[in-house]
Amino acid sequence: MTPQLLTYLLAVIPLALLGIEFYTYNKNKKNGHGFVLKPFKLAAYAFVLVLAVYAIVTGQTYEDIVTRIEGMV
């Protein structure tokens, strides 16, 4: 699997998961059922999505961004 393909997958998968969470929330709200909000899970999805979109926009790969972040620590 090429690094560019991995970067695109890491953008699509969290976006799909956030969409599923949003759909489930709206469906349960409409039907009057409860919904458990998991903020750390949503924050993790959003963080990975933002990193992947940043990598795509700048023309880098996801591994380049992660390596740069690890170098900062």
Q: Give the model's pLDDT for residue 26.
A: 94
Tell me what pLDDT residue 2 has: 86
Q: What pLDDT does 25 receive?
A: 92
State which residues of the chain have pLDDT below 50.
none
pLDDT at 63 (0 to 100): 85
Q: Residue 20 — left, alpha, or beta (φ > 0 → left; ψ -120 to 50 → alpha)?
A: alpha
Report how far residue 28's alpha carbon sits from residue 59's, in angstroms, rounded to the nearest whole number: 39
